[in-house]
Chains A and B, each alone.
Chain A
Amino acid sequence: MNLFITTVSWFSLTLGGAFCIVGAIGLLRMPDFYTRMHAASVIETLGAGLILLGLMLQAGLTLVTVKLLMLGVMILFVSPTATHALARAAMVRGLKPLLAIEEKTPSKP
């Protein structure tokens, strides 16, 4: 049982780190602000969730787990709020999303 918990914890810590790196690569290489925001949300959902799950499995049933759960719930509530405020601020300031309009006009039959 102990070996099982350690294995699951290892797996979720590694997978969470991998998701964080994937999200950061997307944040660096996506072409547009809105797509970059989409890529960065991977870090805040899957990356943070899996890393916190791995730490929770390591800590067992203690006060540390409660604190980790509080951290996870806080990320869950706060990061969509910040992302929404960011997208709305960009939209109000007139930043247009990158659309594929140029491809649509020549292909008219």
Chain B
Amino acid sequence: MFSVAAIALLVTLALALARATLGPTVFDRAQAANTIGTVAMLLLAVLGFLNGRPEFLDLAIVYGLLNVIGTIAVLKYFRRGDLGDPGDEKEESTAKEEPAA
């Protein structure tokens, strides 16, 4: 029964990879990368049970933590254009009101 879940997760991974390849904007690719990270974490957990070695769960936890750090860092880079930027609140508030107008 673990192999069914593993195959379903592999299909999910392939479809998300197709979106990451096709994605028109960079945010589509970031979303697909985030989804790939989540699914890979689940796949690691299922694979540990499939092989009878539940120690793989530690790898899954570390992978999930690295995934969220990577996603937030990439998003900050694409929002500011610079990773070391401390953030300009004034510019952000004017940019935030722009879509509503």
Contacts and interface: CB of A to CB of B under 8 A. Distances in A.
Which 6 A-B pairs give the minimum distances between C-beta atoms? A17-B8, A24-B15, A24-B12, A20-B12, A89-B79, A67-B57
Main secondary structure of the interface of A (DSSP, over half): helix
Interface of B: 1-2, 4-5, 7-9, 11-12, 15-16, 18-19, 22, 25, 27-28, 30-32, 34-35, 38-39, 41-42, 45-46, 49, 54, 57-58, 60-61, 64-65, 68, 71-72, 75-76, 78-79, 92, 95-96, 98-99
Contacts of B4: 13-14, 17
B68 A78 contact: yes
Contacts of B9: 17, 20, 51
A64 interface: yes
A27 B41 contact: no
Contacts of A58: 49
Given A78-B68, A94-B98, A95-B27, A24 B16 contact: yes
Nearest to A66: B57
Residue picked from B18, B31, B49, B76, most chain A C-beta under 10 Å:
B31
Contacts of A81: 68, 72
Contacts of A25: 15
Contacts of A16: 5, 8
B8 A21 contact: yes
A31 to B, nearest CB: 11
B10 to A, nearest CB: 10
B4 to A, nearest CB: 6
A55 interface: yes
B98 A17 contact: no
A40 B57 CA distance: 23
A9 B75 contact: no
B75 A86 contact: yes
A82 interface: yes
